[in-house]
Chain A
Amino acid sequence: MKTENQVIRISGKQDYKRTFVFFALIFWFLIIICSLANASVREEMKESLVYLEISSYGYDQLRPWKNTDVEQKSGVGCATGAYHVITPAWNVTDAKLIRAKVSGQNDYIGVTIKTIDYEVDLALLELDAKMMKKPLRPLRFDDKFERGAKLNYYWLNPDAEITTGQGYMDRAELLRSAVSYSHLLNLIVTNTSQETGIGQVFCEGMRVLGISCWSKGTNEAGLIPSVIIKSFLSRAKNINYPGVPVTGFATEALLDPAMRKYLKLPSNISNGVLVTKVYNIGTGSDLLKKNDVILEIEGEEIDAYGKFLHHTYDRIGYQYLISNQKIRDNINFDVWRDGSRQEIRLQAKNFDVGEMFVPFYEWGQQPEYVVIGGYVFQKLTRAYLTNWGKDWEGKVTPHLFHYYNDMAFKPTLQRREIVILSYVLPSQINLGYTDLSQVVVSKFNGMPISRIGDIIKAQKLNPDDKYDVVEFELDNPKLVIPRQQIQQANTIVSNNYGITKLVHINH
C-alpha cells in the first residue's frame, strides 16, 4: 500500500509539473502574442495619429475690438482619411493657425478646418497633402461597448512619438460638453494612466472606441464615441453641413407620486419624464407643452429619469433618440397630456447658436458691439458673462444672469438678442454717465431694440432731434447723447482708447 501510495503520489507530482509547464508555456505564449499585438497596434497607430499645435487668438469680451493674447494649445488628430483627421472641437476654438506633426516627419504640416460642430464637439481637419511624405492610415471606428473592458489609448507627443496609456470603460452618459448647449453621448473611462481630454484615441485592440474630449485628472475621462464620430463624418460629406438635432425643451425626473397623481397618470404607468420648459427653438419647441409627460420616443420607453434602455449602452438619456436622427426626420413621441396618452410626431430640428436669446458661445467670431460717444453697447452672451471669472454666476448682475438662466433659448420675433450698455469709456460727451454699466437696453430713440444691429437703424430715426435717447430696463436713467457731438467724440474715444473700429455687427 505504501509503495502504491508513493507511486501514486509521484505520479501526481509528475502530472502537476506537466500541467504547470503546459500552462506556463501557454501563458508565456499569450504574453508574447499580446506584447506583439500591442506593439503592432502601437506601430500601426503611428501612421494614424497626428500631433496638433494650435494657436488660438480669441477676442476680449470686455473690449470686443481687441484680441486676447495668443494661446498655444496642443491636441491629437485621429485619421479618418488619407489627409483628414478629427479632433475635439474644443481643441480648435478660435484657432488662427493649426499645424500638425506626423510620425517620421520632422517638419510641420499645414492644417485647415474643414467642418466643425461644437454641439458634437468634433472638428474635421484637412492636412496639406503636398507637405506630407505619405498619407495617413485611416482608423476604423467601432461601436463596441463593454463595461470594465481594459482600453489602451494613444497619442503623439510634441516630438511626434507615439505614447500610450490605459484605462477602463465604465459607463455611457449624456453630457453637455464645454462648448455645447445640447446633451451628447459620452463614454466614461476611469483610472486612466494620465490626464487626457485633447483627442487621445481609445482603443480595444485596433478597434477605435472613441476620442477623449474631457478628463477629471486621472479619475475619469469622457470619450466622444465612435457612433457619434461616424455620424459626424457622414454629415460632413454634405456640402452644407446639416448639424445634429437638438432638443427644444427641458425635462425633470418625475418620481414624486403626488406629482404623478396630480398629472392624472394612471397607476399602471410608472415611467415617463416631465417636460418643464418648452423653448422657442429646437426639436419639440413647436408641439410639446409644459407638463407633458414623455412616455416613449421612437417606441423606446422613457423612464422617470428620462432614460431608456439602449441595446449597447444600457440606460442613457432620451436626448440620444433625438440627436441620432437626421435633421427634418420625423420622431414619434408618446406623451401623457391633459389626462390622456397622445401620439405626437415631431420634426428633428437644430438651430444655430446665434439664434439663441443669449448665445452660449461665439467661437471664432468677433463679439458684436457698437461704440457711440464712449458708450459701449454689446450683445449679451454667456462668453461675456463668464468674464467675471470663477463663480461668475453669483457675481454677475442678477438681471443679466436672469436672461441667461431663464431665457437663453427663448428668442422671439420681437426680441432676438439682449443688448446691454456694457460700460462707458469716459469722455467729455458722457460726463455724468461714466458709472453706468451692465444695464439692458430697452429702446433707442423710441425704437424697441431687438438685436444690436437695431441701434444703427435707430440712430437714423427722428432726424430733427438734437439727441439720441437710450432707455434701459429696471429704472435706470435715460441716456441722452448730443448728436452733433458724436462724430467728434467718436474720434476722441477711438484715439484715446485705441479702438480701431467702433462698430462690429455680423448681421
Chain B
Amino acid sequence: MRFKNLELRIENSKLHLLLNDFKAVFLFFVICVTAIEVKAAGLDGIERSVVMMRGTGQEFDFVTPWKPKGMGQGVGSGFIIEGNKILTNAHNVSNNKYLELQKQEVAKRYSAKVAFIGHDCDLALLTVDDNSFFDNTVPLEIAAELPGVNTAVETYGFPMGGRRISVTKGIVSRVQMDVYAHTGADSHLVIQTDAAINPGNSGGPVMQEGKLVGVAFQGLRQAENIGYMIPTTVIRHFLDDINDGKYDGFGSLGVMLYPGLHNPGYRDYLKVPANKQGIVIIETLMHSSAESVLKSGDVLTQVDQYTIDNDGRVDIYGLKMDLSEAIETRQIGEKVELSFYRDGKLMKGSVTVALNRPIFEIARQYDINPRYVCMAGLIFVPATRNYLESWGPEWIKDIPFYLRYMFRNSMQLNTDRERKEYVVLSEIMPDEINAYADEFKSEIIESINGLKINELSDVQKAIEKPDTNFYTIKFMGKDRPLIIDAKEAQKRQSEILAKYDIPKQAMLGE
C-alpha cells in the first residue's frame, strides 16, 4: 500500500513540513520564542521589509503523473533585499500556482512571481510587478561575515499565520554542515539557534546588528530549542548564481572521500608523508571532471588555498568546515586547483565544479512536471525520490528491493556511461492486455525488445519500433520478462488512454 509523503499541514499555513528521512528535521515558518518581543507601535526598517506571503500550491503525482494532487494553501514569510526583490525559502513557494504578498500595515495584497528558485539551498527570489509594493520599505543588507557562536540574533516572521510580525531573540549555538530537509539530500552550511520552534514562518530574516545573517528555515523535531537558518554564505552563492539569469545550483568535485589517514598503516601504504594531512579518494563519479584527474587511492591535501585535514575539513570563515564548504564558494563551471599525493608523489590538477548528481536522483524534486510513458496501460516513470516517497513515511524500508538497492548504490552499481536515469513500471491501468503484469509493478526496467532503457525516452523509442510482435520487457533482478502482444497493445492504446483520462501517451518533458 502506498501513502502520500508525510506532510504536516499547519492550519492557515501553507508550508509543507517535510520530514527528513535521516534526521527528523522539519521546515518551519515560525521561529520562536525564548523572548517574544513584539514591538508595540511603529515599524523599524527591518519590520517594514518583512512580508507575509500567501501561496497556493499543488503537488504532482509521481505514480500516475498526469493527475495533479490536491491543492494546499498556506502562509509564509519573506523579506525585501536590494533591487526590489523578495527573498524567501524555496519550500514556501514550491509547486506554486499562485502567490500573493502582504505588508503588515498595508491592507493591499500584491501578486508575486517566483523569479528564481534553488531547491537544493531552499531559497527563492520573488518579484512583484506593482512597484508600490516597495514603497516605504528598506532592503535588508546582507552581513559580510557569519555570526559568531554565542552571539544574539533576532528572527522576524509571521508565526502560525498571525497577522503581526513576531520578533524573537535567540543565540547562535553552532555553525555546521547539515542536510536541508526541503530536498532531503543536499547538505550545506546551517546556523543553529537556541530559539524554541513553532511551525509557521519560514523565510523570515534573521538579523544581527541590523544586518541579515540568515533565513530561518527548519528545526529539529526531536529536540527542543534547536532551529536552523540558512547562512549568508549560502544566500550569496544563490544570489551570485542567478546573476546570469538562471539558477545552476551547488556543485561538487565529484569524488567519494574517506578519512583514512587517521590510520598510520593506511597513510604509510598510500605513501603520504607523516607531516601531511589529507583525505583519501575512494572513487570518482562517472562523468565528473575529476574522473580524468583523480583516481582511487589518491590523497587530496589541498583545494585552492584550503589545506585539508585528516577529517576532510578546511579552515574557512574562521571555522573548521567540511571540504565541500570550500567547493561551495565556487559556482558551477568554475575550476578549483587541487594538490594530491599519488604513489608518494605530490601532484597538481584542476577540476571543474559540477552538479555531479547520482543516476538515481536522491533529492526530492519540485516544480518539474513528472514525465511518463503509457503503453498498454503500463505507466513508465523515472525512478526518483518523489516516486519512492509514495510508499509513505517508512518508504526506504517498504519499497521493493531493487528500488532500494539502486537508490542506495546507483553510483557504485551503474557502469553504463549512457545511463541517465532508471525507469520503473509505476502503475498498471487495468486492461485485458496487461492482465498478467501485476507482479512487475514497481520494478526497474532493464530493456524493451533488446533496447537498453537508459532514460524514459528510450521506452518511447522501443515501443515505436515497427514490425514487432511482442514487447519483451526485462526488469532488473527479475528472471522472467513481461511479454505484451505488440499489435494488440497498439490497437487498444487509444481506448486505454480514453478510459483512464490519460491526456497523451507520453509526457517526456523538455
Contacts and interface: CB of A to CB of B under 8 A. Distances in A.
Given A258-B483, A259-B483, A401-B401, A477 B282 contact: yes
B282 A258 contact: no
A393 interface: yes
B255 to A, nearest CB: 11
A165 interface: no
Q: What band does the interface of chain A fall in when counting residues whose beta carbon is under 8 Å from B?
A: 35 or more
A255 B413 CA distance: 34
Interface stretch (B157-165, B217-225, B331-339, B402-410): B402-410
Nearest to A274: B480
Contacts of B484: 258
Contacts of A394: 396-399, 404
Interface stretch (B182-190, B205-213, B235-243, B265-273): B265-273
A120 B397 CA distance: 33
A477 B483 contact: no
B292 to A, nearest CB: 18
Contacts of A476: 258, 282
Interface centre among A395, A406, A480, A481 (most CB of B within 10 A): A480
Contacts, number: 98
A411 B494 CA distance: 48
B266 A480 contact: yes
B21 interface: no
A266 interface: no
A478 B266 contact: yes
A223 to B, nearest CB: 30
B389 interface: no
B477 interface: yes
B485 to A, nearest CB: 5
Contact of A398 (B297, B408, B483): B408
B269 A480 contact: yes
Given A467-B269, A475-B282, A433 B263 contact: yes
Nearest to A485: B265
B176 to A, nearest CB: 19
A413 interface: no
Contacts of B262: 431-432
B394 to A, nearest CB: 8
Interface residues of B, number: 40
Contacts of B405: 398-399, 401-402
Given A431-B263, A433-B263, A478-B266, A262 B472 contact: yes
Given A259-B436, A276-B479, A474-B409, A480 B265 contact: yes
A466 interface: yes
Contacts of A481: 265
B149 to A, nearest CB: 27
A478 B297 contact: yes
A462 B294 CA distance: 28
B261 A432 contact: yes
Interface in B228-278: 256, 258-266, 268-269
Contacts of B472: 262
Interface in A445-489: 466-467, 469, 474-478, 480-482, 485
Contact of B269 (A262, A431, A475, A478): A478
B263 A480 contact: yes
Nearest to B395: A394
Contact of B479 (A261, A290, A393, A395): A290
A250 interface: yes
B98 interface: no
A477 B265 CA distance: 13
Contact of A477 (B264, B268, B280, B470): B280
Given A274-B480, A402-B405, A477 B436 contact: no
Given A256-B436, A466-B268, 5 more contacts: A276-B479, A277-B479, A432-B263, A480-B265, A480-B266
Interface of B: 256, 258-266, 268-269, 280, 282-283, 296-297, 310, 396-399, 401, 404-405, 408-409, 411-413, 435-436, 470, 472, 477, 479-480, 483-485
7 contacts: A401-B405, A402-B405, A429-B265, A433-B266, A477-B258, A477-B266, A482-B264
